[in-house]
Amino acid sequence: MGDSTVLGLVGSPNRNGKTNQLVTAALEGAADRGARVELVQMADHVVNACKDCLPSECEKNLKCTYEDASLEYLTQKILTCGALVLGSPVYWSETSGMVKFLMIKMTRIYARTAPLKGVPTLGFAVAGGSGNGLVSGLRPLYHFFQTMQMRAIGPVPSTRFNLNSALQRSRELGAELTGMVGAQQPFAGLEERLAWYDSLPYLDLNRTGERRLLAGIITAELGDNADLEMARGLAKADALLAEGRQIEALAEITRVYETGIKDWGRR
Ligand SMILES: Cc1cc2nc3c(=O)[nH]c(=O)nc-3n(C[C@H](O)[C@H](O)[C@H](O)COP(=O)(O)O)c2cc1C
CA angle 116–119–123, rounded 5-degree value: 100
**Domain co-membership, 92 together with 109:** yes
CA distance 155 to 140: 12
Query: Strand 83-89 vs strand 120-127: parallel, antiparallel, or unpaired?
Result: parallel
Q: Distance from the CA of 160 to the center of ligand 1, in angstroms? A: 10
Which residue lies with its CA nearest to atom 30 of ligand 1?
Answer: 91
- End-to-end CA gap in the chain: 51
**Domain co-membership, 183 together with 222:** no
List, in order, residues 6 or more apart from 26 with CB less than 8 Å away.
Answer: 6, 8, 85, 122, 124, 170, 171, 173, 174, 177
Decide: 62 and 113 in contact? Cβ < 8 Å: yes
Q: Is 126 in the pocket of ligand 1 (CB under 6 A)?
A: yes
Q: Residue 150 CB: number of other CB atoms within 10 A?
A: 27
CA distance 67 to 70: 9
Q: Is 157 in the pocket of ligand 1 (CB under 6 A)?
A: no
**Domain co-membership, 247 together with 184:** no
The angle, 0 to 180 degrees and rounded to 10, between the axes of the packed helices 163-180 and 18-32 is 40
Q: Which of 85, 92, 139, 257 to mutate to test the pocket of ligand 1 (most atoms within 8 A of CB)?
A: 92
pLDDT in tens, 136-147: 999 999 999 999
Q: What is the CATH number of the domain that holds 163?
A: 3.40.50.360
Residue 21 inside a domain? The answer is yes
Which residue lies with its CA nearest to atom 19 of ligand 1?
Answer: 128
Residue 186 inside a domain? The answer is yes
Residue 260 inside a domain? The answer is yes
**Domain co-membership, 93 together with 56:** yes
pLDDT in tens, 204-259: 999 999 999 999 999 999 999 888 999 999 999 999 999 999 999 999 999 999 99
Residue 2 pLDDT greater than 60, yes or no: no
Q: Which atom of ligand 1 is nearest to the CA of 17?
A: 25
- Count Cβ neighbours within 10 Å for each residue of 40-78 and write b for 16 or more, e otherwise: bbbeebbbeebeeeeeeebbeeeebbeebebbeebbebb
**Domain co-membership, 62 together with 94:** yes
Which residue lies with its CA nearest to atom 3 of ligand 1?
Answer: 91
Residue 1 inside a domain? The answer is no
Q: Distance from the CA of 48 to the center of ligand 1, in angstroms? A: 21
Decide: 240 and 248 in contact? Cβ < 8 Å: yes
pTM of the model: 0.97
Torsion from C-alpha of 16, 101, 154, 2, nearest 10 degrees: -90
Decide: 127 and 74 in contact? Cβ < 8 Å: no
Looking at 199, 217, 236, which one is the last position of a domain? 199
List, in order, residues 6 or more apart from 174 with CB less than 8 Å away.
Answer: 6, 25, 26, 27, 28, 29, 30, 33, 85, 122
- What is the tally of structural domains in the chain? 2
**Domain co-membership, 43 together with 168:** yes
Q: Distance from the CA of 130 to the center of ligand 1, in angstroms? A: 8
pLDDT in tens, 11-41: 999 999 999 999 999 999 999 999 999 999 9
pLDDT in tens, 62-91: 999 999 999 999 999 999 999 999 999 999
**Domain co-membership, 54 together with 23:** yes
**Domain co-membership, 177 together with 237:** no
Average pLDDT over the chain reads: 97
The confidence band for 54, taking pLDDT boundaries of 50, 70 and 90, is confident
Q: What is the reported pLDDT for 1?
A: 41
Residues 169-192: what's their mean pLDDT? Answer: 94
Residue 3 pLDDT greater than 90, yes or no: no
The residue ranking higher by pLDDT, 185 or 177, is: 177
Q: What percent of the chain has pLDDT over 70?
A: 99
Q: Is 21 in the pocket of ligand 1 (CB under 6 A)?
A: no
Domain that holds residue 120: 6-199
**Domain co-membership, 143 together with 49:** yes
**Domain co-membership, 176 together with 235:** no
**Domain co-membership, 131 together with 21:** yes
**Domain co-membership, 61 together with 17:** yes
Q: What is the reported pLDDT for 10?
A: 99
Residue 109 inside a domain? The answer is yes
Looking at 160, 178, 199, which one is the last position of a domain? 199
Residue 191 inside a domain? The answer is yes
Q: Is 94 in the pocket of ligand 1 (CB under 6 A)?
A: no
Looking at 199, 227, 252, which one is the last position of a domain? 199
Residue 55 pLDDT greater than 70, yes or no: yes
Q: Which of 18, 90, 211 to mutate to test the pocket of ligand 1 (most atoms within 8 A of CB)?
A: 90
Q: Is 128 in the pocket of ligand 1 (CB under 6 A)?
A: yes
